[in-house]
Each structure stands twice: as C-alpha cells, then as structure tokens.
Structure 1
C-alpha cells in the first residue's frame, strides 16, 4: 500500500536584518529586485498560496490586483472574517480556521503550499505544527520597526538546510526545516 506524502507548507518571505517583513504600513519598497533571484522558478515551486487579509490588501494596493486563477496565477486562499468573497472572485476568501484549512490542504494531492504571509498567519500555523520549511531572504537593511517576521509566542526550532548569498544585493537566503517538537505529530 503506497501513501501519498503530505504536501509541505513553506513560509517563504523576505525579512530585514532586524526581523521585519514589511514597514508599519505594509510597504516593501526596501526589498531589492535582485536579478540573480529567479522569481519565476520560485513561484513555480508552489501550486497553492495561503495568506492573511492584511497581506492580500497589500497585494491589491501594490501589485494592482489579482489575476484570474489567483496570485501569480496560483490558487490562492485568503483568510478573512471581513472580506466579501463575492467581491474577490479570483481568490478563495474564507473565514474558516486557517489551521483546519491548511491541515486539509496538506492531505490533498499536490505540490508545496506557499505561506505567503503574513507574520500572524505564520504564528498561527506554526503553533498548530503545520509549517514544514522556513525560507527567509534576509535583506541587508535595518527598518527599526514594522511588521515582525513572527509575532511573540512559542519557540520554533529550526535546522539549517541551505544558505545562499546573492552578492549583487547582499541578500542571504536561509532555508530551514522545522524540527517537530517531541510531542507533536509529523
């Protein structure tokens, strides 16, 4: 009897050196467009995106909207208790518990799931032991304040799998596997 491996949830995010993923107002103009980073290949690794409402709002403001098929043409789930799903036909808006939705997604056939943002959703899914990989593109800038990589809460142990320096911008991509706690599934 063969079993299908669970899909992985990957928190792939850019962070300032002092641990912020965006400015106070959600801005990310401090993230350089590094020509050595193959963004098309990065997006191709995932077949589903999940994000919180605040991240989705930033996408709408700064990217000018979402195309048919979702963010970057991928099925996208936006967790929100306030958005009207009918007003956002190119994504799936749900008020369901994110942990329950993502646990269900992980059991379905498919590729990796991109936890696109933000920090609060990362915290919630990490606390539910649903995040498998953390990939942080550390940008050489100190913001001083902003939206944190992860809000306060439980510790999360990580094991470094890979690192890559993009010398043109000084960005360092760090890839970590999440080390499950002794009393958690998986």
Structure 2
C-alpha cells in the first residue's frame, strides 16, 4: 500500500510549559510567583485549548486550588503525582508509578497534548523516563537569584530550538523539542 495514502498518526506530546525567571527558577524561595510579569497579549485561552490533560505535582496542585473560582484548571482533566494527598477533588491522584500513568496518557487517542504543568522534581522524573517531548519556558525579565529551580541538578538534556518570540513586556516565549 502507498504510505502517502495513510493518515499521519500524531502522537500526543508531553509538553513542559512553565514560567521561569531568567536564572531558571519557577517559584521564589517561598514558593511564590508574584514576580511573573503580566502580559495581556498572551492568548491563554488559545494555549489552554491545545491540551486536554494537565499533569502536576502536589505543590503545584495546591497553588492552583488556592485560586478558588479563578483556577484555570477547574473542570479540566488533572493528574496529580502525590504520595501524601488523600483526595484530589476534581483531580486524579497517582501515588506511585506516575511514569507509567503518563506513558498511558500519551498512548491515548487524542488530537490534543498533555501539559506538564509544574513541579521541577516531577519534570525530572518524567525526563528521566524519556516521556517529555517539548520544553516551553516563558522566561520572565526577572532575576530571582534563589528559589525553586525548573529542574533539580542532574545530567544534561539536549534540546533543539523550535521557536522564539520576544514580547514587548520582556517575556521570551521559547519552544524546544527534546532531542532523543
């Protein structure tokens, strides 16, 4: 059969999309994010529409839950990696085997991707398992000098630049594919 007649099969990607300071922190030393620059020109509705599943660690989930009605994840499919949460409310809690759970999510038939929403330690585990496909930092024009890193110390991860967008606010929207 002619391969050109077969429909292209698109694999769901796990995309680590996050805001970070120029020096690589996703939160300040107290876990706060008040330093993130507000840019009204970023289309968050368009961004969120690219995803049907959101994966995060417990701390990120707790920050989102604290937003109450303003939580942009309300009503969405959320998977939380946590050994300590007893109940997730709207979220599905995965106590052990988050790598297998994410691999199963990636194998689902969907035209939308999975957002690795937060947690540097969770991201490191999913990188180590070879599950992260894309890294999408929104780099803020801020130096924190200390805080929670986007990834804990570890080995190098090779990336290939896909796109870069410099916003008038000073935010750099970067997209990299993970090189396998």
* Common topology (TM > 0.5): yes
Aligned to 2:179: 179
**Structure 2 vs 1, CA of residues 84 and 66 (structure 1 numbering), >3 Å: closer, same or farther?**
farther
Q: Return the TM-score normalized by structure 2.
A: 0.90
Aligned to 2:115: 114
Query: Relative to structure 2, which stretch is displaced further, 2-11 or 47-56?
Result: 2-11
Q: 1:8-157 maps to which residues of 2 (within 5 A)? A: 8-61=13-66, 63-64=67-68, 71-85=73-87, 88-110=88-110, 111-157=112-158
Q: Any stretches of 5+ residues in structure 1 without a counterpart? A: 181-186
- The Cα shift of 1:37 comes to 0.4
Is 1:158 equivalent to 2:159 in the alignment? yes
Whether contact under 8 Å (1:80, 1:95) holds in the other structure is yes
Tell me the secondary structure at the aligned position of residue 105 of structure 1: helix
Query: For the residues of structure 1 that align with 2:177 and 2:75, how far apart are their CA atoms?
Result: 27
Question: Any idea what the Cα deviations from partners look like across 1:2-49, whole Å, max 9, x if unmatched?
Answer: 684321000000110011000122211111220110111111110100
Tell me the secondary structure at the aligned position of residue 36 of structure 2: coil
- The Cα shift of 1:89 comes to 2.3
- The Cα shift of 1:73 comes to 3.0
**Structure 2 vs 1, CA of residues 65 and 26 (structure 1 numbering), >3 Å: closer, same or farther?**
farther
Q: Any stretches of 5+ residues in structure 2 without a counterpart? A: 1-5
Is 1:5 equivalent to 2:10 in the alignment? yes
Q: Return the TM-score normalized by structure 1.
A: 0.88
